[in-house]
Amino acid sequence: MPAAVAELVAWIARRLVDAPDAVRVETVERDDATVIRLHVAPDDVGKVIGRQGRIVRALRTVVRAGSAHADRRLVLEIAE
């Protein structure tokens, strides 16, 4: 299930940025959670975060909803 959530985050991110080819998502397993790390072009970081963090907050809500189905805590990080 974390893979499906990661694909969804990548799909949404590609629609938000100017350089969709630079979008990359990786999952990292930690003891207490699975981290979904979103990489975008340096110029697109602001677009993914949004005004006052609204877009990244919405993305994190989507990830949190996916974690309910995965029976594992999922966390979204924006890598720079």
pLDDT tens-digit map of 1-38: 678 899 999 999 999 999 999 999 999 998 889 999 99
- CA terminus-to-terminus distance, the chain: 25
Whole-structure pTM value: 0.88
Whether the Cβ atoms of residue 78 and residue 56 lie closer than 8 Å to each other: yes
Give domain limits for the chain.
2-79
CATH of 2-79, one of 3.30.300.20, 1.10.3300.10, 3.40.50.1820, 3.10.580.10: 3.30.300.20
* Chain Cα centroid distance, residue 58: 10
